[in-house]
C-alpha cells in the first residue's frame, strides 16, 4: 500500500460501450476487484469511461447525465471498503454547466473532481458543442501523493490564446505525478505523435506521466489503447499492448529524482500492421456492439472483397462470416476459382448465386421506358444494382450485417458500385487506399494480430494479389474517365484529400496536369456518393487535423492555374485601439 515512498497504480485499458452506463460500471467494478487483489492504491480508467467515448449529443440528455451520476455515486459508496481509490472519467453537471470530468472516488465519497480545460474542436472531435470549459485547477491528493490530472487535450498544448498550459500550472502547484486519462482514437503513426507530445510535457514539467487510453471501436473510430508511462527522465516506464483490453498494476517508487517505475513494455503496432489491426477491431466492435449475429459480403474474386473477408474472419470467426459470389456472363472463370479458394482457405460458408436471370428481368421491365435509346453504362450498372438487391435480401432474411467492400481510392472518385461497395452496414477498408489494400493482403498472408480468429498462414490466394487490377466502368462516367495506375491515383488523392494541395502544386511535383485535373474533377462530383456510403474504420489523420467536409452543391473548381498573390497594398489595416473605438 501507499507510503511516502511508494504508490501502486492499476491501469485499466478497457473497452467501454457508449450509452451502456451500467455495463461500463460493471467493467469498472471488475477492474477494481483485480486492482484490490493486486494490492493497488489507485485504479485509473479512461476519459468519460462511465458514458463511453465519444458520447456526442447523447451526453446532453438529462436522463443520460443522471444515469452517469447515479453510477458514479454508487461506485463511490463502494470505495468505503478500504480498497483502492478510483479515478474515472464521467460527464458532470455543476451549477447548470456540463463538463468532461474526472472523478476521484475514495473512502466512500467523491473525494475530488477535475474538469477538462482545453476542449478539442477539430477532426472527429466536437467537444465545444457539448461541454463547458473547465477551470485550471491544481493537483489532488491520492494516498498522500499530489497527482495532477490533465485530461487528454490538456496535454496537447497549442500556441493559442484559447489553450491553457494545464501541465505548467500543475507543476507549479506541487504535482508529483501526472495521470492523463484519454479517449484518443487511432490513426496511422499516432503512437509517435502521442509519445512526442508526452515527452515534451515531461521535459517541461520534470514530472513522470501516465498516459491511459481506452481501447475499442465506436462507430467509425477505433481506439487502440497503447497506454504508456514515462519516468521523469523521459525514459519509457511501461507500454501496454495495442488493440486489446489490458489491466496492469505497477509500483511507483519515489527516489532522489522523483517518482519512477519499471513496468512491462509491449511492442507497439503501427503502420500497415496498425491499420490492419484497427480494421479488425473496428469491424468486431461495430458488429458486436450493435448486436448483429454475423456478417455477409459479396465475394468477387477481387482483392477488395478478399481483404474484407479476411478482416471479417479475423474479427468474428469463420462461423459468423458468409461469402456470396454473384457471377454474371462477364465474370471470368479465374475470378470464380479465386473466390472459391478464398472461401475454402478462410473456412467460411460460401454460396454462388448467378444473376443473369435477375439482370435480364430488370432489362425486360425497363424496355418500354428505354425504347429508342442505345445501350450504355446504365445497363452495365444493372449488374451492380442487382447484386446489391440480392445481398440485402440475404442480409434481411438471416439478420446478418452486410459488409461493404469499397476501398478509399475508388470511393473517392465514385468508382464503387459492385458487390456491395456502397450497400450495407459497415466498411472496414473505407479509409484504405488501393495500394495499401494490396500491401495489407500480402501482410495478412504472413501475419495476423494477436486475438485474430482467422487461420494463420496464406488465406488470400496469391493470384488475387498479383493479378493486375482493372478499373471497370461505373455510372455517370465515360471512357475518358478511366483511372490512372493506382500508385499514381493514390499519390494524387493523398495530396488532394489529406493535404488539400492545389492542382498547380501537385502538377509542380511532376504529375501529369490532365490526370490531376481529371482526378480533382472526379473527387468533386463524387461527393454525393460518399455521403451515401456506409460508415467505416478511420485510420487517416489529415494534415490540418480535421475531417473533409465539402458541400455537395459546389460550383468551385481548381483550374490548375498558379494561385494569384494577394495584393496587401489594397488593405487598410486598423490598429487594435481604433477597432475597439469603432466598436463603441
Catalytic residue at 116? yes
Nearest alpha-carbon partner for 536 in 449, 412, 408 = 408
Nearest alpha-carbon partner for 152 in 121, 183, 126, 127 = 183
Distance CA(345)–CA(360), nearest Å, equals 33
Distance CA(565)–CA(562), nearest Å, equals 9
Distances (CA, A) of 402 to 208, 354, 399, 460: 47, 19, 9, 20
Catalytic residue at 152? yes
Distance CA(466)–CA(41), nearest Å, equals 56
DSSP state of 570: G
Distance CA(176)–CA(412), nearest Å, equals 49
Q: Which residue has the cell 461505373?
A: 474
Cell (9 digits) for 553? 452543391
Distance CA(429)–CA(536), nearest Å, equals 7
Q: Is the peptide bond before 351 cis (omega within 30 degrees of 0)?
A: no
Catalytic one of 27, 68, 71, 116: 116
DSSP state of 265: B
Q: Which residue has the cell 482493372?
A: 470
Distances (CA, A) of 571 to 106, 567, 575, 577: 60, 8, 13, 18
Angle formed at CA 431 by CA 427 and CA 435, multiple of 5 degrees: 110
DSSP state of 572: P
Q: Return the biggest CA–CA distance within the chain.
A: 90
Q: CB of 352 within 8 A of CB of 322?
A: no
Catalytic residue at 102? no
Catalytic one of 68, 102, 152, 169: 152
Nearest alpha-carbon partner for 269 in 84, 566, 539, 60 = 539
Angle formed at CA 252 by CA 248 and CA 257, multiple of 5 degrees: 145
Catalytic one of 27, 47, 127, 436: 47
Q: What are residue 325's DSSP bridge partners?
A: 352
Active site residues: 47, 116, 152
Amino acid at each position: 500500500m501507499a507510503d511516502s515512498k511508494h504508490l501502486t497504480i492499476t491501469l485499466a485499458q478497457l473497452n467501454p460501450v457508449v450509452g451502456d452506463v451500467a455495463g461500463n460500471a460493471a467493467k469498472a467494478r471488475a477492474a477494481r476487484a483485480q486492482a484490490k487483489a493486486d494490492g493497488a492504491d489507485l485504479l485509473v480508467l479512461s476519459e468519460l469511461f462511465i458514458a463511453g467515448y465519444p458520447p456526442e449529443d447523447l451526453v446532453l440528455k438529462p436522463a443520460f447525465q443522471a444515469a452517469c451520476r447515479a453510477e458514479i455515486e454508487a461506485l463511490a459508496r463502494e470505495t468505503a471498503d478500504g480498497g483502492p481509490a478510483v479515478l474515472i472519467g464521467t460527464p458532470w453537471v455543476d451549477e447548470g454547466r456540463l463538463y468532461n470530468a474526472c472523478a476521484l472516488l475514495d473512502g466512500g465519497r467523491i473525494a475530488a473532481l477535475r474538469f477538462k480545460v482545453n476542449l478539442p474542436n477539430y477532426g472527429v472531435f466536437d467537444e465545444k458543442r457539448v461541454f463547458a470549459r473547465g477551470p485550471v485547477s491544481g493537483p489532488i491528493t491520492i494516498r498522500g501523493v499530489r497527482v495532477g490530472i490533465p485530461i487528454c487535450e490538456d496535454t496537447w498544448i497549442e500556441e493559442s490564446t484559447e489553450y491553457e498550459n494545464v501541465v505548467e500550472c500543475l507543476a507549479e502547484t506541487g504535482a508529483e505525478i501526472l495521470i492523463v486519462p484519454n479517449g484518443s482514437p487511432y490513426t496511422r503513426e499516432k503512437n509517435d505523435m502521442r509519445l512526442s507530445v508526452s515527452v515534451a510535457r515531461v521535459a517541461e514539467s520534470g514530472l513522470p506521466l501516465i498516459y491511459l487510453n481506452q481501447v475499442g471501436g465506436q462507430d467509425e473510430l477505433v481506439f487502440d489503447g497503447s497506454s504508456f508511462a514515462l519516468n521523469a527522465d523521459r525514459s519509457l516506464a511501461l507500454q501496454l499492448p495495442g488493440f486489446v483490453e489490458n489491466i496492469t498494476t505497477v509500483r511507483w517508487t519515489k527516489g532522489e529524482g522523483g517518482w519512477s517505475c519499471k513496468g512491462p513494455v509491449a511492442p507497439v503496432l503501427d503502420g500497415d500492421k496498425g491499420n490492419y489491426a484497427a480494421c479488425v477491431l473496428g469491424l468486431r466492435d461495430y458488429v458486436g456492439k450493435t448486436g448483429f449475429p454475423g456478417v455477409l459480403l459479396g465475394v468477387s474474386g477481387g482483392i477488395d472483397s478478399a481483404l474484407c473477408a479476411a478482416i471479417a474472419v479475423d474479427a468474428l470467426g469463420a462461423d459468423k462470416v458468409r461469402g456470396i459470389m454473384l457471377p454474371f456472363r462477364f465474370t471470368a472463370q479465374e475470378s470464380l476459382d479465386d473466390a472459391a479458394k478464398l472461401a475454402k482457405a478462410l473456412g467460411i460458408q460460401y454460396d454462388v448465386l448467378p444473376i443473369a436471370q435477375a439482370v435480364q428481368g430488370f432489362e425486360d421491365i425497363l424496355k418500354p421506358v428505354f425504347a429508342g435509346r442505345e445501350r450504355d453504362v446504365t445497363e452495365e450498372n444493372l449488374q451492380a444494382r442487382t447484386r446489391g438487391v440480392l445481398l440485402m435480401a440475404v442480409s434481411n432474411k438471416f439478420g446478418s450485417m452486410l459488409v461493404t467492400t469499397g476501398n478509399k481510392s475508388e470511393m473517392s472518385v465514385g468508382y464503387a458500385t459492385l458487390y456491395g461497395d456502397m450497400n450495407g452496414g459497415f466498411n472496414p477498408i473505407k479509409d484504405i487506399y488501393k495500394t495499401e489494400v494490396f500491401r495489407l493482403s500480402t501482410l495478412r498472408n504472413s501475419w495476423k494480430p494477436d486475438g485474430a480468429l482467422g487461420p494463420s498462414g496464406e488465406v488470400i490466394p496469391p493470384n488475387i494479389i498479383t493479378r493486375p487490377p482493372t478499373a471497370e466502368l461505373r455510372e455517370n462516367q465515360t471512357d475518358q474517365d478511366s483511372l490512372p495506375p493506382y500508385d499514381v491515383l493514390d499519390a494524387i488523392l493523398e495530396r488532394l484529400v489529406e493535404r488539400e494541395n492545389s492542382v498547380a502544386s501537385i502538377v509542380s511535383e511532376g504529375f501529369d496536369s490532365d490526370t490531376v485535373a481529371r482526378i480533382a474533377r472526379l473527387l468533386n462530383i463524387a461527393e454525393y456518393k460518399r455521403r451515401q456510403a456506409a460508415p467505416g474504420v478511420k485510420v487517416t489523420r489529415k494534415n490540418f487535423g480535421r475531417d473533409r467536409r465539402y458541400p455537395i452543391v459546389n460550383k468551385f473548381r481548381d483550374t490548375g492555374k498558379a494561385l494569384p498573390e494577394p495584393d496587401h497594398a489594397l488593405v487598410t489595416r486598423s490598429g487594435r485601439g481604433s477597432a475597439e473605438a469603432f466598436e463603441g
